[in-house]
Amino acid sequence: MSLEGRKINFAAGPAKLPEEVLLKMQEEQLNFNGLGVSVIEMSHRSKEFGVLLNETISLIRELMNVPDNFEILFMQGGGTGQFAAIPLNLKGNHDHADYIVTGAWSSKAAEEAEKYIKVKKVFQPSKPYVTVPDQEKWVHDEKAAYLYYCANETVHGIEFTPTAPESHNVPLVADVSSNFMARPFDFKDHGVVFGGAQKNLGAAGLTIVIVRKDLIGKQQAITPAVFSYKEMIANNSLYNTPPTGGIYTTNLVLKWIKSKGGLQAIYELNLQKSGLIYGIIDNSNGFYHCAVDKRYRSIMNVCFRIGGPSGNEDLEAEFLKGAADRNMISLKGHRSVGGIRASLYNAITLEETQVLATWMNEFQKAHSA
């Protein structure tokens, strides 16, 4: 298959997959491993699919250095489904849970959780979301069921770096949907780490949930079986038909990550890519403006305005048209914030990022004159 006609896809998710993965999927689509059927036609109860499933679990454990006291689950419902599943599974005898709200997704998570547990926010969120308040000012409760945070806010471009928040002796719950395997991850103090696969690890439809074993079995009586960590673990993620094609796609992406040198190598490349774009923004004399506190700038989702802090919509529309003419798509910012958003997920190459950087420099030069 020729890759001619492929766009440079800066979408926030579903997002670009590595070309090597897409070509392998095409090669095996009609006949997986000589079985005469496609993966998406195979029974999820078959021995052959079981091998694929267990290999995918092993790859996640290897690449992320997942400790032995954690289980790895393949679920459905997306990250949004976990907004409900987490309080349903972790409430136990606790009255409430603590939430860190730093953007749109952690805000949605807190709102959904309120249906199943009392939610306390460790600080009063303020809009626009541009930073993470100093932890010394947070109000924690060591009686909380857990402390929830979103590791990377896709909409606003805010990322917890370089470390997770302090746990204050309760399990941390991390939504890593948009920086899953973008950098090495420290499981210290964490109870649950979860994310949808459609940004960095594969196709839409698969949700990966990594759960500490001592937290399993505390689900509320109303917890649906498909959202129950206990049920899913007891059935090796096969309580119901899983997204077989999604698991296969993630398997290939994980092998691709491993072939690139693992998470440290991926992380170093991601720093190069994001540094290239942030460097242009910071040296543009205000032509490009990123409002996010530099301490918490996302290396995955670079959000900025053109023409000043509030943005000039005419300039931004012109920039997006020029980008499209240069084969770049999906650079428009989220509808709730506007502006430009370049999502530099693992599959985006340094060369593709350079195409964007070149256009940014050209566009500024043309309008600065």
Same domain, yes or no: 209 and 292:
no
- The arithmetic mean of pLDDT across residues 136-149, rounded, is 95
| Residue 1: pLDDT over 60 | no
Domain membership of residue 16 (yes or no) is: no
The domain in which residue 329 lies consists of 261-366
Assess if residue 293 is contained within a domain: yes
| 201 and 187 co-located in one domain | yes
Across 48-62, average pLDDT: 98
Domain termination site, one of 259, 286, 316: 259
Asked if residue 235 and residue 152 are part of one domain, the reply reads: yes
98 labelled catalytic? no
Q: Is residue 11 domain-resident?
A: no
The confidence band for 369, taking pLDDT boundaries of 50, 70 and 90, is low
pLDDT at 213: 98
**175 part of the active site:** yes
Total structural domains within the chain = 2
| Residues 233 and 276 reside in one and the same domain | no
For residue 341, pLDDT beyond 80? yes
User: Residue 285 sits in a domain of what CATH number?
Assistant: 3.90.1150.10
Q: Is residue 13 part of a domain?
A: no
pLDDT tens digit string along 91-133? 999 999 999 999 999 999 999 999 999 999 999 999 999 999 9
Catalytic site residue from 16, 91, 98, 105: 105
Residue 368 in this model has a pLDDT that exceeds 90? no
Q: CA geometry: angle at 305 spanning 302 and 307, to 5°?
A: 145
Average pLDDT of span 266-287: 98
Same domain, 283 and 318: yes
> What's the average model confidence in pLDDT over 171-176?
98
Residue 191 φ then ψ, to 5°? -110, -40
Give the model's pLDDT for residue 165: 94
pLDDT number for residue 161: 83
Q: What is the Cα 243 distance to its own chain's centre?
A: 18
Whether the per-residue pLDDT at 12 is higher than 90: the answer is yes
- pLDDT at residue number 3: 74
Sign for the pseudo-dihedral over CA of 222, 228, 234, 240: positive
Shared-domain flag, residues 96 and 176: yes
Active site residue 105: yes
Among candidate residues 202, 227, 259, the one where a domain is terminated: 259
CATH of the domain at 168: 3.40.640.10
Confidence of residue 2 (pLDDT cuts 50, 70, 90): low
Asked if residue 235 and residue 147 are part of one domain, the reply reads yes
Q: Which of 16, 91, 199, 273 is catalytic?
A: 199
